Amino acid sequence: MKILRNGEVDTILAPASYFTGTVFQNPIVTAPDPARVNAASVTFTPGARTNWHTHPLGQTLHVVSGSGWFQTEGEPRIDIHAGDSIWIPPGEKHWHGATDSMMMTHIAIHERDPEAGHITWLEPVDEADYLARR
Ligand code: MN
């Protein structure tokens, strides 16, 4: 077994190439082959969100604090809150993040496809789409 103690893994500032606003990532697990699971705690400051993206093998989000927004392409934006769990099927284009006025932290869990990786990044969510209720 391998244990990573609190403080042994640095918090990462999420890259501006894939996120809008200030987002912090704390890795939880990056399992070595043949395991494929990857999980991270991700904290979005108000107004911050992912780019649009897809997951080749899907993703589970579990909100641990605050309130955020989630949207699948072509569907209304929805509110997500601490305690909610969201399953995103493989290939579904979506984004997730904080609301414009509150922080949100979720645990993101996804498996790595040997060829496609675990995330396919797309374009930023523009401000009008982020703020739109539909
Ligand atoms: Mn996602």
CA of 52 to the centre of ligand 1 (A): 8
Each residue of 8-40: pLDDT tens digit? Answer: 999 999 999 999 999 999 999 998 999 999 999
CA of 134 to the centre of ligand 1 (A): 19
Residue 4 in any domain: the answer is no
Residue 20 in any domain: the answer is yes
Each residue of 50-102: pLDDT tens digit? Answer: 999 999 999 999 999 999 999 999 999 999 999 999 999 999 999 999 999 99
Q: CATH number for the domain including 115?
A: 2.60.120.10
Number of domains in the chain: 1
Residue 6 in any domain: the answer is no
CA of 54 to the centre of ligand 1 (A): 6
Residue 124 in any domain: the answer is yes
Q: What is the DSSP string of 11-77?
A: -EEPPTTTEES-EEEEEEEEPPTT--EEEEEEEE-TT-EEPSEE-TT-EEEEEEEEEEEEEETTS--
pTM tops 0.85: yes
- The residue segments making up the domain with residue 90 are 12-131
